[in-house]
Structure 1
């Protein structure tokens, strides 16, 4: 009788799961399940998300955590851990990665050189780095960034979606740079 090793290391993913602990810059909409005063589950948040739906993510699309989970082949989109409709099986695949301190997001002047990588591969055409894409660009966040406020037509040229949260393009570049270091 031969024994079969059911736990072959070659078939296991390098990063089997991902856990997200932080704030609105990485939260995949757990805020929707909390008694929070500021939410983002309405348009124009999510305008560049698949199916163009607001999901409670504080950006125009996907977050760095979504891109990292995808690049690490864990999951295409992270669900909110607090969603009562999420099965126990899906909870196991949600996250084991504590992200770095994202203080660079609020330090706008320091953020620009860090986001412009030295190679063309990561270059993004950032034109607007002191204002956000939504609303006035200075104070709009949560309820002040809504369907009645104007948004820019080119979010990929902005570092910030609202007054403090990066655009999907910035999250994508940051996730690619982080994944390069992890892989």
Structure 2
């Protein structure tokens, strides 16, 4: 039988271990999301555009089996992150006219499927560019000021987790598939153009009170099934497009350096680079290691062209979506998003905790 002293030491050690295991977890007041279809929970439902995910089979595995406007079979990365942080189970679209005060105060998404940092990206689709999303955010700020007052609203904004995920559509629509911007920029110049737009956007968020910002890099664009389809006509030749992936890697390296510079110019702000490339590349290159089987096509239809309106109630889907990295020809499955969220939990969220002490940024 352990002595009282030994018992006290064991209890003390256990207490320290428990505290340490949770010490990384920062406290956020809410979650605010900007970007494209990877983080749009349904804003496109409320605008005039054909690019919507508010019909079956989208939402097949979402709670209640309802299509919400999310371009996936279930939840998005941001939904999982909000749940992991005990903020809310899912992140609603800002444009939903029926949002409660509680929903507004705990966070919303301003993202729009098909969006980009370049305004040219959204001209044909009519979706909401990132530059317009900041206007909606200004409206949002005024709304929460009316709910809780100016001082409390500023506290909420300062403690909110902001997630930005945009850029993929800019390259897909404007540079690779429809090379409009190639007449103005080489790949290096277009990357710089987009990151300049992003830097301006982050400054605008900062000026409105945001202080904790996670910015996603590009995924391996060359592994998106639709990009593979555009490159390889023969199904037997399907493989990731190496040059597009190299372009994504170069963009991400530049972005990491840029965000360090941006953080240094914004006092009291934490701006964190969020690696999306490697976790998604892991699933594509070593699917069996993570419980996946199919990587070169989506679950919906043939999986090589169907997305948005082409993935619909008349389109057959695979039986086990959890075995597929992609749900349609563009967007990952809920299973892939869940893996990316767990990766962010381990590698990104801890960076919002003060590295010099156990103090949490509030």
TM-score range, shorter chain: 0.7 to 0.9
- The residue that corresponds to 1:79 in the other structure is 92
- Structure 2: any 5+ residue segments left out of the alignment? 1-25, 109-160, 165-214, 224-239, 246-276, 351-362
Residues 1:37 and 1:102: Cα distance change in structure 2 (over 3 Å): farther
C-alpha separation in 2, matches of 1:87 and 1:46: 23
C-alpha separation in 2, matches of 1:33 and 1:105: 30
Is 1:97 the counterpart of 2:162 in the alignment? yes
Aligned residue runs from structure 1 range 14-93, under 5 A: 14-93=27-106
How far did 1:106 drift? Answer: 2.8
How far did 1:117 drift? Answer: 10
How far did 1:126 drift? Answer: 1.8
TM-score norm. by structure 1 comes to: 0.83
C-alpha separation in 2, matches of 1:102 and 1:82: 26
How far did 1:101 drift? Answer: 3.1
Residues 1:56 and 1:102: Cα distance change in structure 2 (over 3 Å): farther
How far did 1:90 drift? Answer: 1.7
- The residue that corresponds to 2:332 in the other structure is 166
SS in 2 for 1:97: strand
Query: Higher helix share goes to which structure?
Result: 2
Residues 1:102 and 1:45: Cα distance change in structure 2 (over 3 Å): farther
Contact 1:124 1:157 (8 Å CA) reproduced: no
How far did 1:102 drift? Answer: 5.1
Is 1:136 the counterpart of 2:313 in the alignment? no
Greater relative contact order (Cα < 8 A, sep 6+): 1
Contact 2:163 2:216 (8 Å CA) reproduced: no
- Structure 1: any 5+ residue segments left out of the alignment? 1-12
SS in 1 for 2:282: helix
Work out which of the two has the higher radius of gyration on C-alpha atoms and give 1 or 2.
2
SS in 2 for 1:56: coil
Counting matched residue pairs gives 168
TM-score norm. by structure 2 comes to: 0.44
Residues 60-69 or 83-92, more deviating: 83-92
SS in 1 for 2:302: coil
Contact 1:105 1:166 (8 Å CA) reproduced: no
Contact 1:124 1:156 (8 Å CA) reproduced: no
C-alpha separation in 2, matches of 1:22 and 1:166: 16
SS in 1 for 2:31: coil
SS in 2 for 1:40: coil
Is 1:106 the counterpart of 2:221 in the alignment? yes
Contact 2:284 2:325 (8 Å CA) reproduced: no
Contact 1:141 1:164 (8 Å CA) reproduced: yes
C-alpha separation in 2, matches of 1:50 and 1:131: 25
- Which of 346, 350, 353 is residue 180 of structure 1 equivalent to? 346
Computed over aligned residues only, the root mean square deviation of the Cα atoms, in angstroms, reads 2.2
C-alpha separation in 1, matches of 2:163 and 2:38: 13
C-alpha separation in 1, matches of 2:217 and 2:54: 22
Is 1:126 the counterpart of 2:292 in the alignment? yes
